[in-house]
Structure 1
Amino acid sequence: MLNSPLNSLSTKPFVKNLTNDHYTLLICTQFRSMTTSKRVQDRSKNKRIHDLEIVTEKNKRISKILNLLEILKKEPEQIIPIKNLAKYRQQINLPKPHKISDFLLKSPKLFELYKDQRGVVWCGMTEKAEELVKEEEDIIERHGDKVAQYVARMLMMAVDKRLPLDKIAHFRRDLGLPIDFRKHWVYKYPENFRVVQPFKPYDEGEYLELVSWRSSWEITELEKKVLDLKEELNDNDHVSGLLSLAFPLKFPSNFKKVYRYGGQIDHFQKREYLSPYADARGLKAGSREFDKRAVAVMHELLSFTLEKRLVTDHLTHFRREFVMPQKLMRLLLKHCGIFYVSERGKRFSVFLNEAYKGSKLIEKHPLVVWKEKVLSHIGYRGKKEIGTIDNLSDLEDNDLFECDSEDESVQMELEQAVTLNYLESNLPPDGSEMEIEEVCRAYRD
């Protein structure tokens, strides 16, 4: 059998003649060796931190509830017909065939259903949920000045000192911004930033632009921590430039390559790098200086967030504005002692390793404590709690708050709600929680 050029490993070009009665066709094909590319899941398989996977799973649970609370908050009377919630499935992240009514019935401490005289079934918040919503608003209001500083510092890091409001919106919940931040909040701090439309008429998009530069805000969160700076310096006391601070490292317990690459890690830690607030337009993309500054930018952005965690595609949206590499995920995976990438769910998340001890944040923002309080009011715990990595495989997005009941009647759902409220009011006095099988059995009886 003749060896076909298509089966050859040679990198030399070849010419194949195909002749018929009308023409001769020359096909020239150049072969070259291709680099194999592994999936993120494969590259991070041996670097998993089980405790942070648990954090990711818990966040998937509570995000559905927070999205639904925000939908209700936007309604004039904070109530909405159940049938109208169908258009928010994507926002709630509750795909078909799962019923929205079943989802609501699994959290009777937060949501209640009732039928009006016309037979329309409505959803609203319980008194407890209303209290929690008011508590969140108060916390956001109290910490507004600090969040405004973080947003201004993001603008200071941006190459043009402005960022699209649409992109900042991705960070809204991560930073602790109010739900109406685009309509009201951005105008509360005119001394820090302003809303502009610099590219009209070609681009009608709104941008947030820095108004004044404050030198005291150029100090990175890492500098404050290492130098133990608890008080803000005067604006003339600091000038951004080269930094030589080492990043805190925390490797997965099963990561065996620290010894092998110890010299490279040590060399990286000792290398000077440009401050995230210094002008980076002169850096060459792909250089060591360029990459280390990108690590510093990501470290700073994660330090601004409530849970020291971000969805990775939110970071990639800012590659141009913050002068970061195109292959940002590769950089995150490479520096697994600084960052941890969780690939659970539909979207990847990146954590700042130093901020966690096990699955707990070392320093908890009041909004994080508030989220934990909301989580304690969600549904009932089954036999499998989110405590070990072995349980996580059974807890995918579309399995949350599921029940064996498949009733299609809204009337039956209301009867189930009554049953659930009865069960809730007759819980054992010691505060122990019911098994999910008991609740489902009550539905069927």
Structure 2
Amino acid sequence: MHKIFRPLVQVSKSVSRSLHPPNLILFFVHDFSQSTSIPKKQQRVRDHGYDNYMEIEKKIRKVLKVQELILSQPNSMLSSARLDNLSRRLGFKQFEAGRFVLKFPHIFDVFEHPVQRILYCRLTRKALIQIQQENEAVMAQIDDSVTRLRKLLMLSNTKRLGLEHVRIAKREFGFPEDFEYSVILKHPEFFRLFEDKESKSKYIELVEKDPELGVCAIEKVREYEYREKGGDAENIRFSFIINFPPGFKTGKYYKIAIWKWQRLPYWSPYEDVSGYDMRSLEAQKRMEKRAVAMIHEILSLTVEKKISLERIAHFRITMNLPKKLKDFLLQHQGIFYISTRGNYGKLHTIFLREAYNKGELIEPNEVYLARRQLAKLITLRRLNTDHQFVYHRRESVSDRFDRVDLDQVKIGSEKSWNEVKIGDNEQGSDGSESDLESDGECCGVDEEDEENKLID
């Protein structure tokens, strides 16, 4: 991290040495205060490494919804006619679902029924194994999920969050499908679940705040930088790791502005600031930097160090985040990256830049590795491109899916499918097609309108 500050310090010293006359020095100081602040509005500079990552993620979202649809059916298989009918409720056009499943032969197995003589679709053995591995990885880190939820509640001003908001983001935080029972109700010493009398909404409340959990991920990075690499304490104390995307232009005064911002003190995201006076300009600057640390900590709590901007918008009020989140994040493109790949640019995914290297997570976990197996199955090419359908001879399902526990694979899939009202999506665009058609993420029109208001 100390490498970030060396050129900035050298720039500031060289500028001051070049101005020897006193009148020029006074003029420079007056101009310095006006021009060395980070611009409020900046153009987004694309980083193709993250955009290519999102191209695969768009396909994964669509594949996951078709997988849930198939696993919710008896015997975990679906006829082509019924697949086409049900998939329209998810956003597919007529006959589009059949073409979609044929694009991924390593995930979906299209075969002719030996008796009915019609085409059926089911998941391949590789896909079932991948689902089972991901479920096992999620259940194996229940204790980590409890810790992540506790830290997430500690970031809130009221130490409580809406159950629905957490449920929507459960995949990003690595929570199991039944997290309401396995994570919340099973640990009454940490959480309390109650229903608001006026709104009739359920909320999760933290029973007791643990000071040992109130340490941000960036603080651990600073400590490692100082102890192991011998960085300058003055430069590291309030700094962040900054890595601008390729092609991002940084002038002399912009570097000085970054150097000043890195040294600016701020309150910890876990600190209660309700009793502080925020009317001064210095307090407002500290709160803005605190918002950067807040988003940084939220991304650090996720499994893949990324989350959609619409998810964070649900926590905006309870975590003192600015209204125009997109413009705010564009001011710090060296810390975060916003990808607009998906849903015609209306879905924004935020990446923590320091956590990735060449499109891969630097410190992967078991859940991340299991999910990347699905990405590998998606990118595998078709084995036989001369035939549109591959007809299989009659074989028993037990021989086909040996060593795969179908009951365990269907845990959560049936629950998630039954909980969601067919036709109502989780996120989407105003009056546009769903993510299955536009390579975005499903959502309802009402919820998208609400999220756009939160972001704007």
CA apart distance, 1:112: 2.2
Change (3 A) 1:228 1:379: closer
Q: What is the aligned partner in structure 2 of residue 362 from structure 1?
A: 362
Deviations 1:20-74 (A, max 9, x none): xxxxxxxxxxxxxxxxxxxxxx9534x2111111111121122222233333444
Name the stretch that deviates more: 61-70 or 296-305: 61-70
Using the alignment, how far apart are the partners of 1:189 and 1:100 within structure 2? 42
Question: C-alpha root-mean-square deviation of aligned residues, in Å?
Answer: 3.0
Counterpart amino acid of residue 373 in structure 2: K
SS state of the match for residue 182, structure 1? helix
| Paired residues, number | 333
Deviations 1:403-426 (A, max 9, x none): 9x9xxxxxxx9x71328xxxxxxx
Deviations 1:138-174 (A, max 9, x none): 1011111112111111111111111111111222111
Q: What is the aligned partner in structure 2 of residue 418 from structure 1?
A: 391
Q: What is the aligned partner in structure 2 of residue 38 from structure 1?
A: none
Using the alignment, how far apart are the partners of 1:125 and 1:336 within structure 2? 40
Q: Which has the higher contact order (CA 8 A, sep 6+)?
A: 2
Change (3 A) 1:311 1:85: farther
Tell me, yes or no, if the aligned pair for 1:108 and 1:379 is still in contact at 8 Å. no
Deviations 1:307-339 (A, max 9, x none): 211111111121111111111111100011111
Identity %: 29
Tell me, yes or no, if the aligned pair for 1:221 and 1:303 is still in contact at 8 Å. yes
Stretches of structure 1 that go unaligned for 5 or more consecutive residues are: 1-41, 230-242, 383-402, 406-412, 420-445
Using the alignment, how far apart are the partners of 2:164 and 2:326 within structure 1? 22
Change (3 A) 1:43 1:342: farther
1:341 aligns with 2:338: yes
Using the alignment, how far apart are the partners of 2:118 and 2:188 within structure 1? 46
SS state of the match for residue 238, structure 2? coil
Instruction: Pick from 181, 184, 187 the counterpart of residue 185 of structure 2.
Output: 187
SS state of the match for residue 93, structure 2? coil
Tell me, yes or no, if the aligned pair for 2:243 and 2:334 is still in contact at 8 Å. yes
Change (3 A) 1:59 1:112: same
Tell me, yes or no, if the aligned pair for 1:44 and 1:341 is still in contact at 8 Å. no
Tell me, yes or no, if the aligned pair for 2:306 and 2:349 is still in contact at 8 Å. yes
SS state of the match for residue 253, structure 2? coil
Change (3 A) 1:88 1:95: closer
Q: What is the aligned partner in structure 1 of residue 378 from structure 2?
A: 378
Deviations 1:380-431 (A, max 9, x none): 449xxxxxxxxxxxxxxxxxxxx9x9xxxxxxx9x71328xxxxxxxxxxxx
Tell me, yes or no, if the aligned pair for 1:163 and 1:207 is still in contact at 8 Å. yes
Change (3 A) 1:302 1:283: farther
Q: If the length of structure 1 is used for normalisation, what is the TM-score?
A: 0.68
1:300 aligns with 2:293: no
Matches within 5 A, 1:22-41: none
Name the stretch that deviates more: 131-140 or 106-115: 106-115
Tell me, yes or no, if the aligned pair for 2:83 and 2:97 is still in contact at 8 Å. no
Change (3 A) 1:210 1:71: farther
Using the alignment, how far apart are the partners of 2:72 and 2:189 within structure 1? 29
Change (3 A) 1:178 1:417: farther
Instruction: Pick from 210, 228, 236 the counterpart of residue 206 of structure 2.
Output: 210
Using the alignment, how far apart are the partners of 1:372 and 1:123 within structure 2? 23
Q: If the length of structure 2 is used for normalisation, what is the TM-score?
A: 0.66
Using the alignment, how far apart are the partners of 2:203 and 2:148 within structure 1? 16
Tell me, yes or no, if the aligned pair for 1:106 and 1:380 is still in contact at 8 Å. no
Deviations 1:268-322 (A, max 9, x none): 1111111111113346489212211110100000011122111111111211111
CA apart distance, 1:224: 1.9
Using the alignment, how far apart are the partners of 2:92 and 2:104 within structure 1? 18
Stretches of structure 2 that go unaligned for 5 or more consecutive residues are: 1-40, 226-235, 393-456
